[in-house]
Structure 1
Amino acid sequence: MCVHAHPDDESSKGAATMAKYVSEGVDVLVVTCTGGERGSILNPKLQGDAYIEEHIHEVRAREMDEARQILGVKQEWLGFVDSGLPEGDPMPPLPEGCFALEDPESAAGRLVRLIREFRPQVVTTYDENGGYPHPDHIMTHTISMIAFDGASDTGKYPEEEFGAAFQPQKLYYNQGFNRPRTTALHEALLERGMESPYGEWLERWKTFQRTERTLTTHVPCADFFEIRDKALIAHATQIDPDGGWFRVPMELQKEVWPTEEYELAKSLVDTSLPEDDLFAGIRDNG
């Protein structure tokens, strides 16, 4: 089960991993917390389209369905309302009724119900920073942590309301946007005399007062990078197919960094680090 904040997050974070596991016969469920209603139209080719602006919720739902089919996953909406990304100084208040203002314990109940229904062995989500500090990403982390433990807690989430208790065995944070990967691709491009889109990223990284994450798990999934990109392009309002996401040649990506990365946050099974499989310690135990 892969818990994400908005439609398109599943295709930019761990999509090749999901496609790899689907190809092996694993059941994969994407849980999308919000409808992405307040997301800006980031593809310049679609900006100013009155129909899209008026029907953004429906458009993003259709995009999500296309990406779901490309990846071969199942998908469920938690039904919360996008909080938007506040900008300014001082920051404006978050809009009333949005996901980030929900009571976390109550909001996690919706995810508990899905966990008990789907019964995943592995859950992926965001770290406490949200991957980046979007209020919906941070709330996604918060309810995922509550639900991971709460799915087996029948006192907190009674079975008659939330379904039969179940305990997932491992929980991971997506860490695909990590400094080692970015540096490796940047240097490989420059070594080949090519322009790198990562120079400014790396400069900005130097100013971040943020602890480096521990990359515990590198999942080999280069054979599924094309599927990842196809799913990402399906989110047409959010992704410019001629933009920065696609400036690194595919063969170079596969050669230099053929994995997607995760940080093991919780495990109820024995495993040895580093791992190359989200199911390490689970497969061994049958």
Structure 2
Amino acid sequence: MTTAPLRLLAVHAHPDDESSKGAATTARYAAEGVEVLVVSCTGGERGSILNPSYGRDITDLDEMRSVRTVEMAEAARALGVQHRWLGFVDSGLPEGDPLPPLPEGCFALTPLEDAAAPLVEIVREFRPHVITTYDPTGGYPHPDHIMCHRVAKEAYETAGDAERYRGRGEPWTPLKLYYNHGFSMARIRAVHEAMLGAGLESPFGDWVESRAAREIPEREVTTRVPVADYFDARDAALRAHATQIDPDGFFFAVPRDLELDEWPFEEYELAESRVATTLPEDDLFAGIRPPEETA
């Protein structure tokens, strides 16, 4: 058990990931008085313009970084969270057969200890009780997402060890590590079937068929955090990323009332814990909160 204030660190690969993965959770905890810090490992410099209504193209990495810096600040305000940049350069998503090499100096090619050192320093400074990030697959095979997992896991495992990363602050041992599961097949199928049952066109039809056809294994969901009251904050944060998010597109295709009825929570996998907890959970701080604060 620990005393307030509780602290949550959410580690993401690019600006906009914090708004599409666990955003309502961070908004909820921030509103409840938890100190929440989002870390973006890269500046999203090599992201494409994914919003067809954005109105212009951006090909210069420095310009894209500047634009996405402004977007990220607005998203953080919408969620009510603190934000830090880890400072690495977006690796881009390689395409083709065979895949081209990753660009020199990018995040995914950075040696692990060099990439993890600034995050270890942030962990030792911010002193989070809980860290969230992606599972070992990255959630999808973007090299920055996979590297983000590696870096966050390294920081979770080593930040409390005084012999590791010397000169990077006083040791601090986080208590729990979670993986985001924002696009689980259970959620996708439930919302897909509800939309079809309501006579609506589902945005998940092709997704359900392709995921099922490839027999992608589902990772364990241990924790469902109720977040129905914070979908507005999530949506505002998504819209802040105007280069990436189409306000008439995929992320807004499910009617809010249907989403509230079918899936009013966000899902996580408890990957590691240094405290006793009982699964399933409905709180990332289960086993950490003082008894009087536990519902």
- Place the TM-score, normalised by the shorter chain, in its bin: over 0.9
Superposition RMSD in Å: 1.4
Q: 1:173 aligns with which of 162, 174, 179?
A: 179
Unaligned runs of 5+ in 2: 1-8
Identity among equivalent positions (%) equals: 60
Q: 1:243 aligns with which of 249, 254, 262?
A: 249
Paired residue for 2:6?
none
Paired residue for 2:5?
none
Counterpart-to-counterpart distance in 2, 1:133 and 1:189: 28
Q: 1:142 aligns with which of 137, 150, 155?
A: 150
Q: Is the 8 A contact 2:120 2:159 kept in 1?
A: yes
Paired residue for 1:95?
103
Please tell me the residue identity of whatever aligns with 1:75. Answer: H
Paired residue for 2:236?
230
Q: C-alpha displacement at 1:51, in angstroms?
A: 8.8
1:54-101 deviations in Å (ceiling 9; x for gaps) = 711100000000000110000000000000000000000000000000
Structure 1 residues 56-205: aligned runs within 5 Å: 56-158=64-166, 161-205=167-211
Q: C-alpha displacement at 1:107, in angstroms?
A: 1.1
Counterpart-to-counterpart distance in 2, 1:52 and 1:228: 29
Compared CA separation, residues 99 and 52, structure 1 to 2 (3 A): closer
Q: Is the 8 A contact 1:52 1:59 kept in 2?
A: no
SS of 1:275's equivalent? Answer: coil
Counterpart-to-counterpart distance in 1, 2:58 and 2:98: 30
Q: 2:11 aligns with which of 3, 24, 32?
A: 3
SS of 1:283's equivalent? Answer: coil
Please tell me the residue identity of whatever aligns with 2:82. Answer: K
Counterpart-to-counterpart distance in 2, 1:51 and 1:128: 30
> Structure 1 residue 218 and structure 2 residue 224: aligned?
yes
Compared CA separation, residues 54 and 2, structure 1 to 2 (3 A): closer
1:210-269 deviations in Å (ceiling 9; x for gaps) = 321100000000110111011001000000001111011001101111000000000000
Q: Is the 8 A contact 1:217 1:275 kept in 2?
A: yes
Q: Is the 8 A contact 1:4 1:125 kept in 2?
A: yes
Please tell me the residue identity of whatever aligns with 2:224. Answer: H
Counterpart-to-counterpart distance in 2, 1:154 and 1:59: 38
Q: C-alpha displacement at 1:193, in angstroms?
A: 0.8
Q: C-alpha displacement at 1:209, in angstroms?
A: 4.5
TM-score by length of 1: 0.96
Counterpart-to-counterpart distance in 2, 1:38 and 1:49: 12
SS of 2:251's equivalent? Answer: helix
TM-score by length of 2: 0.94
Counterpart-to-counterpart distance in 2, 1:183 and 1:108: 36
Counterpart-to-counterpart distance in 2, 1:157 and 1:204: 43
Please tell me the residue identity of whatever aligns with 1:154. Answer: A
Please tell me the residue identity of whatever aligns with 2:187. Answer: R
Unaligned runs of 5+ in 1: none
SS of 2:270's equivalent? Answer: strand
Paired residue for 2:284?
278
Q: Is the 8 A contact 1:41 1:47 kept in 2?
A: no
SS of 1:55's equivalent? Answer: helix
Q: C-alpha displacement at 1:106, in angstroms?
A: 1.9
Please tell me the residue identity of whatever aligns with 1:204. Answer: S
> Structure 1 residue 12 and structure 2 residue 12: aligned?
no
Q: C-alpha displacement at 1:155, in angstroms?
A: 1.1
Please tell me the residue identity of whatever aligns with 2:240. Answer: A
Between 53-62 and 42-51, the greater mean CA deviation after superposition: 42-51
Q: C-alpha displacement at 1:285, in angstroms?
A: 6.3
Q: C-alpha displacement at 1:208, in angstroms?
A: 2.7
Paired residue for 2:54?
46
Please tell me the residue identity of whatever aligns with 1:257. Answer: W
